[in-house]
Structure 1
Amino acid sequence: MGLGIALACGFFCTTAQMYEDAVARATPEPSRFRVDGTALIYDENLVQGDTEIEWADVEDLRENLKTHKQITAVHLTSGGGYYYPALEMARIISDYELDTHVVDYCESSCTVVMAAGVNRTMERGGKVGFHQYYWGADGIEGYYEDNQESKDWESPFDLAEWLYDDTQQEVYERLTHFLSHGIKAEFAIETIRNRGDDLWYPTREELRAGNMLTE
């Protein structure tokens, strides 16, 4: 390849890369949110790939509520995801005094978001699913390997000690969250009875009796 061709290639290749980078920056990230009148719809099916509740959703929720002042309710279709982002989404919904409405399904940590609604409703045919916190062996092993040095764990037994304390704290926070939003204690306790791979889907009557549904 001659020097001129090489220089030209270098220029155009660099320019092409700069163009691609600019397009990537200008293209908005796929969002699980969309606005429909006074409803802010949160639907995991609006994106492809990873659909779990995550920290990006927290910022997306906050920005949507700042931009669209007319929002009065959040409509949910989600199989759940990470607990702490869900808890922060719930805090924001509670602060804005919004209603929550289940469209198709609301499972796992999505129920934490749902519980924050002033009024909590569900479409006919919808379902709400609860389970205990679950962390598989592969995930625990990976977490130990990634954090052993930073957390000064000398053996897996140190991880087990931390995990025991952390799990109890998360269970306490979850039950406290439910109770603080008017959900009955006996129902809140039932939400942690099933293992992580076996969701409990209460009937509409059970959801109403436990005040998980307010209407």
Structure 2
Amino acid sequence: MRPNQALGRFWHAVATADDGVLMRGAFFGLLATAAVFLVIDVREIYQTASQELPGFDPQRTGQPVLPPALTDGKPHEAPVQPETDAEVLRQPIRFELKTGGILSAEGAIDPGAAARFAAEIEARGEYVKVISLNSPGGAVEDALAMSTLIRDKKLTTRVAKGALCASSCPIVMAGGAVREAEKDAVIGVHQVFNGGTDRPSPEQAMSSAQTATARVARHLDEMGIGSGLWFHALETPPDRLYYLTEAELKQFKLVTEPPATARKKS
């Protein structure tokens, strides 16, 4: 068959085909196109996974203790600089019981922090009423476990004036039955990421990111936190922070309204 005859028959088939055939053809065409772009995306993820991720690791030296802020897509400095020395905040999180039933939790949330926190609560639980947070964040799994235990014990979480609660630290804060942030507390969120030295395969990287995102979103919802908080986190690259304003802290319910009795006294 000559080429022009074959081409003529092709266009005749298109012209006489019913709508169902055309729709199926269009669908499979789009599916094929999507597959091509998926292959490209997977290759890019693989290249990223095999290199240094641009995430912020609070325990890594040579970085500022706070990444720049992301506001309207442009990085800015933190609204207030934390009062605690950067090298202190880089150290694995430490717990210290202070007067008034306050348990200070200061430093980076390293792998194993949740187990140490659970042991501290078991040993001193009857005295602890408030968890005072001052942390640049860290391991998400440990942050989730700490947050769950805090809610189980119906403790209060607090970020004091000049203290820092960034990255995965707001996940811990969300566990408080009562959640407080003093004026000039520094609180920020960003995307979760693999900060370890092991580099997963593209499939593992995508699966891990999706699973972690879903778990954090579900946990925040169970803690009564507004979805807008996690939307800001998802929109912010891991080497930036979205710093929350006082109005946003209330809007997203990361801080709770004081009890009615406390409002009457004031």
Partner in structure 2 of residue 187 of structure 1: 229
Higher RCO structure, 1 or 2 (CA under 8 Å, sep 6+)? 2
TM norm structure 1:
0.70
Q: Give 1:31 shift.
A: 6.3
Which structure 2 residues correspond to residues 5-20 of structure 1 after superposition, within 5 A? none
> What is the CA distance between 1:125 and its match in structure 2?
0.9
Counterparts in 2 of 1:59 and 1:135: CA distance versus 1, 3 Å: closer
Query: Within 5 Å, which residues of 2 pair with 1:1-215?
Result: 32-37=94-99, 38-44=101-107, 52-68=108-124, 69-103=126-160, 104-135=163-194, 142-144=197-199, 159-215=201-257
Letter paired with 1:94: R
Q: Distance in 1 between matches of 2:156 and 2:208?
A: 30
Task: After TM superposition, give the deviation of residue 54 of structure 1 in Å.
Answer: 2.2
Any gaps of 5 or more consecutive residues in structure 1?
A: 1-29, 45-51, 145-155
| Aligned-partner residue type, residue 97 of structure 2 | V
Measured against aligned partners, the alpha-carbon deviations of 1:94-131 in whole angstroms (never above 9, x if no partner) come to: 11111100120100111110110111111211011100
Paired AA for residue 143 in structure 1: D
- CA shift digits 1:56-105 (9 cap, x unpaired): 32222122212221211100000001111111111111111111001201
Q: How many equivalent pairs are there?
A: 162
What do residues 127-159 of structure 1 show as CA deviations (whole Å, max 9, x unaligned)? 1110012347xx5xx414xxxxxxxxxxx7xx0
What letter is aligned with 2:138?
G
Identity across matched positions, percent: 28
Give the match's secondary structure for 1:134.
Answer: coil
Aligned CA RMSD, in angstroms, stands at 1.8
Q: Per the alignment, do residues 56 and 164 of structure 1 end up closer, same or farther by CA in structure 2, a change over 3 Å counting?
A: closer
Give the Cα–Cα distance (whole angstroms) in 2 for the partners of residues 160 and 57 of structure 1: 28
Supply the distance in 2 between the matched residues of 1:64 and 1:133 (Cα, whole angstroms): 27
Q: Secondary structure at the match of 1:34?
A: strand
- Is there any run of 5+ residues in structure 2 with no aligned partner, and where? 1-91, 258-266
